């Protein structure tokens, strides 16, 4: 924690010195206002690093900052984490300019349209040097979500490798500054699926444990005892418990009482 706090304090000093460096070196201003936060590996979580092909405008920014940083130290290597970056890009739409707050990846994609009126999915994939999954997320956020900064052919709600994209000059919004979010990453979805899977196992184990000791139980009592056991780990959903009971019946762990369908018997 101490290292993280120190990093943030030094980052402010670095930024002030970087701005001074640009003022004193006429060639150093890259044409874009740039803020860089330099963090020490080991003090912070590790992040997935992608080999993004930066647009020319951003490449100059990186080169200028590297030149500045080498005047301070030659013993530290800079590794750029573009996934943590944000950019403010002005979209020059027909009705009015709108400032778009986007990620570095989204900005890199949008800047491709400064030199091209129309780009295919394959061309965007090639120019950005990202994976299919990453490009699909970026294109979806800019052409299929709430803010349609890009127009898409065909005009569908999903991204296909056969799609083509154009800058949507007719786009407008009542706000002059909007944040364009990215859809949730697949990793998050996978984590949720893994958690659900683990919980199913926990519910199965709890039901079997209860029935093994009780042998026969009415549904409501089984449900109550199961919830009491699982509450220590998570708050179980009654509907899921009911599904797990049905699944255990099909797998011959339990059976319904022939005379009372709401009572279950444990099968040894």
Dump the DSSP string for 49-81. Answer: -------HHHHHHHHHHHHHHHTT-SS------
Distance of alpha carbon 77 from alpha carbon 183, whole angstroms: 32
* SS3 assignment for 206-229: HHHHHHHHHCEEEHHHHHHHHHHH
pLDDT tens for residues 186-207? 555 666 676 788 888 899 999 9
pLDDT for res 188: 56
Burial class from Cβ neighbours inside 10 Å (0-12, 13-18, 19+) for residue 9 reads: exposed
pLDDT for res 170: 94
For residue 29, the tally of other CB atoms under 10 A from its CB is: 16
Strand 254-256 with 263-266, pairing = antiparallel
pLDDT for res 267: 86
pLDDT for res 39: 87
In the predicted model, residues of the chain with pLDDT beneath 70 are: 184-192, 194, 268
pLDDT for res 50: 73
Q: In DSSP terms, which residues pair with 97 in a beta bridge?
A: 92
pLDDT for res 186: 58
Residues 157, 163, 168, 170, CA torsion sign? negative
């Amino acid at each position: 924690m101490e290292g993280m706090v120190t990093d943030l304090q030094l980052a402010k000093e670095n930024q002030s010195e970087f701005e001074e460096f640009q003022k004193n070196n006429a060639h150093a201003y890259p044409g874009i206002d740039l803020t860089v936060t330099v963090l020490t590996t080991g003090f912070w979580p590790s992040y997935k690093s992608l080999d993004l092909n930066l647009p020319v405008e951003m490449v100059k920014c990186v080169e200028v900052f590297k030149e500045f940083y080498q005047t301070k130290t030659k013993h530290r290597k800079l590794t750029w984490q573009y996934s943590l970056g944000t950019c403010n890009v002005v979209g020059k739409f027909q009705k009015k300019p709108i400032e778009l707050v986007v990620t570095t990846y989204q900005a890199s994609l949008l800047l491709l349209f400064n030199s091209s009126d129309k780009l295919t999915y394959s061309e965007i994939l090639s120019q950005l040097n990202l994976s299919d999954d990453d490009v699909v997320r970026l294109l979806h956020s800019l052409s299929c979500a709430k803010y349609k900064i890009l127009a898409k052919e065909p005009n569908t709600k999903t991204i296909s490798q056969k799609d083509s994209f154009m800058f949507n000059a007719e786009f407008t919004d009542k706000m002059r500054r909007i944040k364009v979010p990215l859809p949730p990453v697949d990793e998050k979805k996978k984590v949720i699926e893994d958690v659900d899977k683990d919980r199913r196992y926990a519910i199965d184990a709890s039901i079997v444990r209860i029935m093994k000791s009780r042998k026969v139980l009415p549904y409501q009592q089984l449900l109550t005892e199961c919830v009491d056991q699982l509450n220590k780990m998570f708050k179980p959903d009654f509907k899921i418990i009911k599904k797990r009971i049905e699944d255990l019946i099909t797998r011959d762990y339990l059976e319904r009482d022939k005379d009372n369908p709401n009572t279950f018997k444990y099968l040894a």
